[in-house]
Structure 1
Amino acid sequence: MRDLLLLGIETTCDETAAAVVRRRADGSGTILSNIVRSQTSDHAPYGGVVPEIASRAHVEVIDTIIEQALRSSAVKLVELDGIAAAAGPGLIGGVIVGLTTAKAIALAARKPLIAVNHLEAHALTARLTDAVPFPFLLLLVSGGHTQLVAVTGVGEYVKLGGTIDDAIGEAFDKTAKMLGLPYPGGPAVEAAARTGDALRFALPRPLYGRPTPDFSLSGLKTAVRLEALKIAPLADQDVADLCASFQAAVVDLLADRVRCALRLMREHGLAPHALVLAGGVGANQAVRRTLHKVAADGGTRLAVPPPELCTDNGAMIAWAGAERLALGLTDDLATSPRARWPLEEVAGVDWAD
């Protein structure tokens, strides 16, 4: 095995990103460049991501972002071992932009194409940043995804649980919008919660204590709206107390569902080397503090990539591409972009058997 240099391209939502990563023969890695152009200001007036605006913005800047990533890494196109791009899941317009660009580069430079599942990239990032060995438990919490996944190898994923309605990040965003807080909602709710009373409102913890580690956020979100309507118009302290109560409910749910998933892994003979937290919600400090304790109580540790690698970025795509290429896994130029691509479909097994 030799060192591998990969270019990674990410365009699944509202970040246009490209990066160059080196995977060494011993399995360790280094990020040589990681360029991200966020579209937050483009979507803020709408309170959420507008797919048409997102895909148009990707088209406008992707060539420049890739050029910057190569220049910053001091790596020439001819030196790369492969071109990796997120092929889904995500907003299909954006996915098409990134994957088509990667295909063109791979074809012109005569390099292998690696079509990366965006969720797999999140799952494997902790192996780049924390050298986490298999198996481990992944908690992926973002605006679009809430999943608990047993990761036993590259391309070996077992979904243990997920949300049956809203993603946790989406619930943060919608709660913020209801309470008149700015977009993105996660940081705004967390900031308001710091001065709030988490005990003022008795909000529900849907599915708490259930034997399968699934989530439900729609009822919690509705409860916040009903409490807000009862006391409208809202003073600043009311908003802070609602945010604190909402965040406390989310943290309690996460802790309970993670304990359930850790238990389930051990029941199937898997001792997780770590609980890996990925996705934008992983930046929430209340979530991190609680999960540190949950992991320790469960006989493992919490591994969290740095904040810039928890949100969407090119380095995670390049690293996942390098992990796959190291195993000889490449993709045909006819590979299609996918709006939906469950992680377990990368190579799933069924524990119900």
Structure 2
Amino acid sequence: MIEKVLAIETSCDDTSVAIVNRSGWVHSVVAASQDLEHEMYGGIVPEIAARNHSIALIPLIEEAFKKAGMTWSDVDGIAVTNRPGLIGALIVGLVTAKSLSQAKKIPFLGVNHLEGHLLAPFLKDAQYAPPEDFDYPYVGLAISGGHTSLYHITELGEYRVLGATKDDAAGECFDKFAKMAGLGFPGGQRIDQMAKTGNPKAYEFPRSMIHDETFDMSFSGLKSSGQRMLEQLGPELVQEHLPDLCASFQEAIVDVLIAKLERAAKVFRSKRVILTGGVSANSRLRARAEEWAAQKGLRLVIPPLRYCTDNAAMIGYVGALRMARGEFSELDLGPSPQALATDFK
């Protein structure tokens, strides 16, 4: 019987390991950030990410066991992200999981990274637990540097894609604007901080597809508009008005995200909604979403920051649930830059 699993997450630039049981309890979760390694390049370099995963992973596994006060005899399986993500980064985690599976004679399972985000609200630890009345079905908005999508989640493995960005993801848009404005990497966090002292109405940016009757989104026009605005102002004025620029740019993204989430909740008559993924750590988005949910009488769940960004705990939870119902992977499982056709409807 599968009860506890060791989980490995290496889909992008953060290396994470966790030990989780199938009730969602996180016994330990540890991570190694690569922000400093990628900062000088203004974005993530896949080869550097993969190399750093290979250096950090085994020590993190040892640390996860130590933090949980457990040994290999306490875990029943291994869950590992194998899709979607950077191929080189995924390979490091997947090969490690396969090797440990053979050495320890326990099963392993490849997990979809996005499914982990969609179930992250169910995680529990000493400081966090979802509301007691939170359960399926619910509407979920998953937002990150690589993905911005709306889902209707009815049960484990039943995820309907309602809409997605037609071009750039919201997180990518944040990062590109930050780079153009000279804020560096990671851009989303720095825009969030800078915007706290700015006026969100100071500059007018487009909100593409906000009134469109679909659930789709588009952020490439906003990115282009941001570039033109920075070029028109020039370096000196940009620096002088940077808080207002960041606040206004951020507000345009948040307006679109809230509008699409509200439309999905209304169409599916859902009283339960979630925000998940790295961009859901944005303080303005959280505040606006909480205000909106309170006005509409909705149950909004946003995981704490440690479970919003890429983390192995969410991968472990999905893996434990799926392995408990008899799902396992074979040794010929490979990595994929995209989700499988069967992952979502």
Deviation, 1:259, is 1.2
Mapped partners of 1:244, 1:127: distance in 2: 31
User: Following superposition of structure 1 onto structure 2, how do residues 166-181 of structure 1 map, counting pairs within 5 Å?
Assistant: 166-181=168-183
Q: Which residue of 2 is the match for residue 137 of structure 1?
A: 139
Deviation, 1:298, is 4.3
Q: Which residue of 1 is the match for residue 96 of structure 2?
A: 101
Q: Which residue of 1 is the match for residue 317 of structure 2?
A: 319
Stretch of structure 1 that moved more, 2-11 or 157-166: 2-11
Look up the SS of the partner of 1:345 in the other structure: coil
The question of whether the paired residues in 1 share the 8 Å contact of 2:12 and 2:89 is answered with: yes
Unpaired stretches in structure 2, ≥5 consecutive residues? 125-129
Deviation, 1:58, is 0.8
TM-score, L = length of structure 1: 0.91
Q: Output the amino acid matched with 1:332.
A: E
The question of whether the paired residues in 2 share the 8 Å contact of 1:174 and 1:185 is answered with: yes
Mapped partners of 1:222, 1:87: distance in 2: 33
Unpaired stretches in structure 1, ≥5 consecutive residues? none
Does residue 1:219 correspond to 2:221, yes or no?
A: yes
Q: Output the amino acid matched with 1:184.
A: P
Mapped partners of 1:142, 1:308: distance in 2: 14
User: Following superposition of structure 1 onto structure 2, how do residues 297-308 of structure 1 map, counting pairs within 5 Å?
Assistant: 297-308=295-306
From 258, 263, 266, the equivalent of 1:260 is 263
Deviation, 1:3, is 7.1
Q: Which residue of 1 is the match for residue 109 of structure 2?
A: 114
Deviation, 1:166, is 0.6
Deviation, 1:242, is 1.2
Mapped partners of 1:124, 1:331: distance in 2: 20
Look up the SS of the partner of 1:29 in the other structure: coil
Q: Output the amino acid matched with 1:149.
A: Y
Look up the SS of the partner of 1:221 in the other structure: helix
Identity %: 42
Mapped partners of 1:122, 1:62: distance in 2: 21
Mapped partners of 2:10, 2:226: distance in 1: 33
Once the two structures are superposed, residues 282-318 of structure 1 have per-residue CA deviations (whole angstroms, 9 ceiling, x without a partner) of: 1111101111233344442111111011111111111
The question of whether the paired residues in 1 share the 8 Å contact of 2:2 and 2:77 is answered with: no
Q: Which residue of 2 is the match for residue 49 of structure 1?
A: 44
The question of whether the paired residues in 2 share the 8 Å contact of 1:262 and 1:298 is answered with: no
Deviation, 1:158, is 0.4
Mapped partners of 1:117, 1:160: distance in 2: 18
The question of whether the paired residues in 2 share the 8 Å contact of 1:259 and 1:298 is answered with: no
Mapped partners of 2:243, 2:277: distance in 1: 24
| CA RMSD across the alignment | 1.6
User: Following superposition of structure 1 onto structure 2, how do residues 125-164 of structure 1 map, counting pairs within 5 Å?
Assistant: 125-129=120-124, 130=130, 132-164=134-166
User: Following superposition of structure 1 onto structure 2, how do residues 14-25 of structure 1 map, counting pairs within 5 Å?
Assistant: 14-23=13-22
The question of whether the paired residues in 1 share the 8 Å contact of 2:203 and 2:248 is answered with: yes
Deviation, 1:29, is 2.7
Mapped partners of 2:4, 2:179: distance in 1: 42
How many residues matched?
337
Q: Output the amino acid matched with 2:293.
A: A
Q: Output the amino acid matched with 2:119.
A: L
User: Following superposition of structure 1 onto structure 2, how do residues 25-64 of structure 1 map, counting pairs within 5 Å?
Assistant: 28-64=23-59
From 61, 65, 73, the equivalent of 2:60 is 65
User: Following superposition of structure 1 onto structure 2, how do residues 272-283 of structure 1 map, counting pairs within 5 Å?
Assistant: 272=271, 274-283=272-281
Q: Output the amino acid matched with 1:37.
A: A
Deviation, 1:230, is 1.4
Does residue 1:183 correspond to 2:202, yes or no?
A: no
For residues 10 and 293 of structure 1, do their structure 2 counterparts lie closer, same or farther at Cα, with a shift above 3 Å needed?
same
Q: Name segments (4+ residues, structure 1) moved above 4 Å.
A: none
Deviation, 1:82, is 0.9
The question of whether the paired residues in 1 share the 8 Å contact of 2:5 and 2:75 is answered with: yes
Deviation, 1:182, is 2.4
